[in-house]
């Protein structure tokens, strides 16, 4: 096959058996790869109602239809499973080298089932795929694991795997790629539950392109746009996502307020973070170099990629302004293998509940939870990774942690379907934030369509770009927020399925190649046609995106998601005020309009058979139509003493 690697690896850890099968041409054209291929595979293989930490769960890693090609920023690996954090679809998307090298070895997807009897890792070298003993790797931090595997196999390999948090089934443990790239939603705990430590890969085959001349010309044109763009050269490549501290209003003290640029305290400003920077780095085929390399003099250590999310979640939302300590926490999260957002927000919630007296020293084991206390927070992060003491409760993650504490705590869980991005008024940006959080198929999230619906950063990259987007078919969110979000969800679905980075400063040109010249998806269609030899059009790509999204919605229906779970959170102190009640009414009106346009039943939020039939997946209707599934209430939580704990 042109463009694709053409093969799928199936690994049964229980039987220690590997089977390599050709990638179906039909599947490739219907789902592209990456997120699309993973979501399809999960729907086919994951039975409703299983425990995400049981051997019955399935773990999928896939690169994408354009991963590893000459198209820049095609570095992303999609890691998907039934999430042990949320109990619904859980996929993470990480950069690095793994995606490209897996494609260069000739593979598009790895599907992992069962549970090994003892720690294992998977070794892939072109046509060789082996399950190997990982006893000497178990217990290692991520950086130690990667270095050890490179000592064994060579420096030209890529590694995906887990740290101690994954081994200890921390529910927000991440899949880490090449030390510093994180794929969240709890997939790291799924690796741990399967006794799988790592996958190491070497690929030497490259990618065969159907029409190299056309493809390379288009890819070069796309890359040159980034190299010449002034915003990218002067800001994006200089401070990366630290730009967001000045533009994206980070939460402060558990979302007590959102900080404008003039409100940022000393310690969490871009200028403060720059003092620790010693270099910049990038993922495979990236011309931007958005990631900083920083030094921690206090610990005599280095770290990579102190992104906006880690500064806001571990710093501002916990009222911590010790710059070096925040960077240390981010480095610890990477090395233990934990999602910084859920980690930081869970810690902030715990402090908030402690301040309100909902949890006490009895719950924390005598550890005081105080705003701004960096030293204690560093200690708690380590306790979470190993599920020690109070860390065992915090390791359940955000909503699950609140659920354990009790009903009063749950009132302050600002989540949608188990994931949090804070709380917002519905009238903010004409409802884009709240609607995007409600409709995201993996729980409240900013990377499923939100930023693209209102061209959050595009106007800074190119003042004329928003007009081009609107003329190209993106509805204006100021007049049609529902339409704008649906189109933006399509964009993000396609991005995740071709293996392209959406941009650490989220933007249309980064997510959708050549959108600045051929809006909205015409440029991408040209690239896919040239790469694969199959005829892709903008209309076909819209159909593919909708097919993937509706399969994800159907997957969640089988996990018990009802229409009621499209609600958005508010603090209990204001939820019954006339203003908020009016906002809630408007939110549900927008949800109804969204479901109608998506081709779902407005009363149940279940995709209609006629919609699925038009998308070529009527068989999905057979699995969800007129069937009752137990109502979602998060994943099943284990007794505290059942988890692996300690060193």
pLDDT, position 399? 98
Write the burial class of residue 128 (CB in 10 Å: 0-12 exposed, 13-18 middle, 19+ buried): exposed
Tokens, residue 66: 């354009």
Residue 646 DSSP one-character state: -
Nearest to 258 by CA among 33, 422, 451, 54: 422
Tokens, residue 253: 């003290």
Q: Is 203 helix (H, G, I), strand (E, B) or coil?
A: coil
d(CA 249, CA 257): 9
pLDDT, position 504? 87
How many CA atoms within 13 Å lie on the side-chain side of 46? 35
Tokens, residue 470: 């609107």
Q: Return the residue matching tokens 């009063």.
A: 408
pLDDT, tens digit (0-9, with 9 covering 90-100), for 111-156: 999 999 999 999 999 999 999 999 999 999 999 999 999 999 999 9
Backbone angles phi, psi at 166, to 5 degrees: -65, -40
d(CA 502, CA 192): 28
Q: Alpha carbon of 30 to those of 22, 75, 534, 536: distances in Å?
A: 15, 21, 12, 11
Write the burial class of residue 564 (CB in 10 Å: 0-12 exposed, 13-18 middle, 19+ buried): exposed
Identify the structural domains of the chain with CATH numbers, from first to last.
Answer: 7-202 (3.60.9.10), 252-412 (1.10.569.10), 428-624 (1.10.599.10)
Residues 6+ apart with CB under 8 A from 170: 188, 189, 338, 384, 385, 387, 395, 397
End-to-end CA distance of the chain: 47
Write the burial class of residue 521 (CB in 10 Å: 0-12 exposed, 13-18 middle, 19+ buried): buried
Nearest to 397 by CA among 313, 305, 307, 311: 313
Q: Alpha carbon of 46 to those of 22, 226, 350, 353: distances in Å?
A: 21, 40, 33, 36
For 255-287, the DSSP string reads TTEE--GGGPPTTSSHHHHHTTEEEEE--TT-S
pLDDT, position 646? 86
H-type alpha helices, 156-253: 164-167, 187-193, 212-228, 230-231, 237-239, 244-247
Whether the Cβ atoms of residue 130 and residue 18 lie closer than 8 Å to each other: yes
Backbone angles phi, psi at 85, to 5 degrees: -85, -45
Residues 6+ apart with CB under 8 A from 538: 520, 521, 522, 525
Residue 323 DSSP one-character state: H
pLDDT, tens digit (0-9, with 9 covering 90-100), for 605-614: 999 999 999 9
Tokens, residue 133: 């003993």
Nearest to 9 by CA among 68, 75, 62: 62
Q: How do strand 120-125 and strand 89-94 relate by DSSP bridges?
A: unpaired
Greatest alpha-carbon pair distance for the chain in Å reads 68
Tokens, residue 176: 């880490």
Compute CA 522 distance to the chain's CA centroid, rounded to the nearest angstrom: 26
Low-confidence ranges of the chain (pLDDT < 50): none
Q: Return the residue matching tokens 């659920």.
A: 403
pTM, two decimal places: 0.98
Q: How do strand 17-22 and strand 59-62 relate by DSSP bridges?
A: unpaired
d(CA 312, CA 257): 12
The number of helices, as runs of H, and strands, as runs of E, in the chain is 30, 19
Q: Return the residue matching tokens 């819209």.
A: 542
d(CA 386, CA 557): 33
d(CA 27, CA 40): 9
pLDDT, position 647? 84
Whether the Cβ atoms of residue 180 and residue 290 lie closer than 8 Å to each other: no
């Amino acid at each position: 096959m042109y463009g694709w690697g053409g093969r799928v690896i199936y690994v049964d850890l229980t039987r220690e058996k590997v089977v390599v099968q050709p990638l179906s041409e039909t599947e490739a054209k219907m789902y592209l790869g990456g997120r699309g291929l993973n979501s399809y595979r999960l729907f086919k293989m994951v039975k409703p109602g299983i425990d995400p930490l049981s051997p019955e769960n399935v773990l999928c890693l896939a690169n994408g239809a354009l991963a590893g090609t000459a198209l820049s920023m095609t570095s992303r690996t999609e890691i998907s499973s039934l999430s042990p954090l949320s109990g619904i679809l859980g996929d993470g998307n990480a950069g690095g080298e793994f995606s490209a090298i897996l494609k260069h070895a000739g593979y598009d997807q790895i599907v992992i089932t069962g549970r090994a009897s003892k720690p294992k890792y998977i070794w892939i070298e072109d046509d060789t795929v082996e399950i190997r003993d990982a006893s000497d790797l178990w217990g290692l931090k991520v950086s130690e694991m990667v270095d050890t595997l490179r000592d064994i196999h060579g420096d030209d390999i890529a590694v995906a795997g887990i740290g101690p948090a994954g081994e200890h089934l921390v529910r927000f443990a991440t899949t880490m790629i090449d030390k510093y790239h994180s794929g969240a939603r709890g997939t790291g705990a799924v690796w741990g539950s399967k006794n799988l430590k790592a996958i190491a890969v070497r690929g030497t085959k490259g990618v065969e392109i159907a029409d190299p001349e056309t493809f390379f010309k288009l890819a070069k044109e796309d890359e040159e746009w980034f190299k010449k763009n002034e915003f990218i050269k002067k800001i994006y490549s200089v401070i990366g996502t630290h730009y967001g501290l000045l533009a994206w209003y980070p939460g402060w003290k558990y979302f007590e307020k959102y900080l404008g640029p003039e409100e940022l305290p000393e310690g969490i400003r871009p200028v403060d973070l720059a003092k620790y920077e010693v270099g910049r780095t990038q993922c495979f085929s990236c011309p931007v170099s958005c990631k900083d390399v920083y030094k921690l003099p206090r610990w005599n250590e280095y770290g990579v990629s102190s992104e906006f999310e880690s500064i806001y979640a571990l710093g501002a939302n916990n009222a911590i302004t010790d710059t070096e300590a925040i960077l240390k926490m981010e480095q610890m999260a990477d090395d233990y293998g934990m999602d910084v957002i859920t980690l930081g927000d869970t810690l902030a919630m715990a402090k908030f509940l402690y301040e309100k007296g909902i949890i006490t020293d009895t719950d924390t084991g005598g550890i005081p939870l105080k705003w701004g206390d960096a030293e204690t927070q560093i200690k708690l992060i380590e306790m979470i990774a190993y599920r020690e003491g109070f860390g065992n409760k915090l390791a359940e993650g955000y909503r699950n942690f609140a659920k354990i504490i009790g009903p009063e705590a749950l009132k302050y869980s600002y989540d949608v379907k188990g994931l949090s991005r804070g709380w917002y008024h519905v009238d903010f940006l004409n409802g884009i934030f709240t609607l995007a959080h409600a409709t995201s198929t993996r729980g409240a999230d900013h990377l499923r369509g939100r930023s693209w619906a209102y061209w959050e950063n595009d106007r800074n990259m190119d003042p004329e770009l928003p007009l081009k987007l609107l003329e190209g078919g993106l509805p204006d969110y100021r007049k049609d927020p529902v339409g704008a979000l649906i189109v933006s969800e399509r964009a993000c679905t396609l991005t995740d399925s071709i293996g392209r980075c959406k941009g650490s400063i989220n933007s249309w040109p980064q997510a959708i190649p050549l959108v600045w010249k051929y809006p909205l998806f015409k440029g991408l269609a040209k690239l896919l046609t040239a790469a694969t030899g199959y005829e892709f059009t903008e209309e076909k790509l819209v159909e593919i995106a909708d097919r993937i999204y509706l399969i994800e919605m159907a997957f969640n229906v089988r996990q018990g998601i009802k229409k009621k779970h499209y609600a958005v959170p508010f603090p209990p102190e204001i939820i019954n005020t006339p203003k908020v009640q009016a906002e809630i009414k408007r939110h549900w009106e927008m949800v109804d309009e969204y479901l109608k346009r998506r081709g779902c039943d407005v009363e149940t939020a279940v995709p209609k058979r006629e919609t699925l039939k038009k998308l070529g997946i009527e068989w999905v209707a057979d699995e969800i139509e007129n069937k009752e599934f137990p109502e979602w209430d998060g994943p099943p939580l284990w007794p505290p003493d059942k988890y692996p704990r300690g060193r």
